[in-house]
Amino acid sequence: MNINPMQAIDIIIKSINKKDFEIIPIENAINRIIAEDIYATYCLPRFDNSAMDGYAISFDDKDYNLNIIDTIYAGDDNNTLLKEKTCIKIMTGAKIPSNANCIIPKEDVKVIDNKITIQANIKINQHIRFSSEDIKTGTLLISNNEEINFAKITLLASQGISHIKVYTKPNVVVFSSGNELKLHYESIKDYQIYNSNTPTFVARCKELACNVSFIGQVSDDIDSIKNSIKNALNADLIITSGGVSVGDADFTKEAFNQLGFQVLFDGLIIKPGKPTVFGKIGKTFILNLPGNPLASSLIFELFGKIIIQKLLGSKNYYPNFIQTKLKNNLQNKKGRITIIPGYFDGTCFEASAKRNAGMVSTLSTANSMIILDENVQYLKNKQDIKILAINWNFFTQNKKDFLTYE
């Protein structure tokens, strides 16, 4: 029974629960998903310090000529205190005297005979970085299931953390079937075509931070397909394309069924990509995509990326969208939810002119897509729409309605 995309997304999200983890150095953790909560064990700044090169003073002495009695550099363990009508020369980042409450930048003073005269209007507590004003001890810095980026590395390093627990990368196996297909490094005859789907999904899964294996082109017979499936059952996800419709030579579905395939959904109320199947054998999930290149790629961009977000351990897996305008009028045949690829230029979205399910050139010039509700027949120029990213990731932990309506 075919189901709508929202039901399919709910099934995917409920079916996958990432648990496996490893411990790695923080320098190797870019784009990985953390598997623990990180709390601050140190406050930042750790002590009151100077934000400028200048002079530490007591604000009450601002109207006097002040004797320079010491110099404090960043990193000094210097506990000199101010005396009446004195100042201490201080460098950026240095710990300020405990009885100082104002830093005067060096360009705002005149120095004569080891004394300073302040030549600017000043405020109490100016140019002081106070202890804990950035991070308080015990603050939750990074939550379980967040993606690590350069800024998160900054937080970790600031706390002296060298290693963290992250979820393991998903292991993905890709193969396809079809006697009419040849791999891109083989010679072909006039009645054959190159297999563009397999290299596409190998490359795309690598872009999405997966470990990916290609186990070859499979002949269109049940035994060959079963052998490939058995060889891939140590993976987290198997991706296939072709052999999932109802044609006489579509053996992929039967091969999976003979190996105990548990169907989670079989068929979508969507175009292109209706004959999409998702299920599992044991702990290995299987995504059977249509054979048509554009259809399989668009379905992967909508559903495959959600599967991978879950397998990565991310808390952000619902499709997020950008609200924008449609560039041109758009006609659509209603009746099924429809995926329309196109290009978002930062201001508006232009639907791709070529959208046939079997085309391969479309996605090379598209960077986003819109998903039309089944009742949409016509959208006007400048109409508000919601676009989903194709070649950049844009997910949220909050479920949103990403369909575009009339």
295 and 379 belong to one structural domain: no
14 and 55 belong to one structural domain: no
For residue range 154-169, list pLDDT tens digits in order.
999 999 999 999 999 9
Q: Which residue, 167, 182, 213, sits at the end of a domain?
A: 167
The predicted pLDDT at position 199 comes to: 85
183 and 214 belong to one structural domain: yes
Give the containing element (helix H, strand E) for 339.
Answer: strand 337-344
Q: Tell me how far CA of residue 139 lies from CA of 104, 136, 166, in angstroms.
A: 32, 6, 20
- Partners of residue 129 on adjacent β-strands: 49
Number of domains in the chain: 4
185 and 287 belong to one structural domain: yes
For residue range 296-330, list pLDDT tens digits in order.
999 999 999 999 999 999 999 999 999 999 999 99
179 and 189 belong to one structural domain: yes
244 and 297 belong to one structural domain: yes
298 and 214 belong to one structural domain: yes
Q: Which residue, 282, 312, 342, sits at the end of a domain?
A: 312
Q: To 10 degrees, what angle do helices 5-15 and 305-312 make?
A: 20
The CATH number of the domain holding residue 156 is: 3.90.105.10
192 and 300 belong to one structural domain: yes
149 and 39 belong to one structural domain: yes
For residue range 355-364, list pLDDT tens digits in order.
888 777 888 8
The CATH number of the domain holding residue 280 is: 3.40.980.10
* Residue 154 lies in domain: 21-44+137-167
Give the containing element (helix H, strand E) for 201.
Answer: helix 197-207
350 and 360 belong to one structural domain: yes
Q: Is the pLDDT of residue 367 over 80?
A: yes
What is the Cα gyration radius of the chain?
30
Virtual torsion, Cα 300, 302, 305, 310, nearest 10 deg: -130
286 and 353 belong to one structural domain: no
Question: What share of the chain has pLDDT > 90, as a percent?
Answer: 76
pTM: 0.86
The predicted pLDDT at position 193 comes to: 67
Q: Is the pLDDT of residue 177 over 60?
A: yes
144 and 200 belong to one structural domain: no
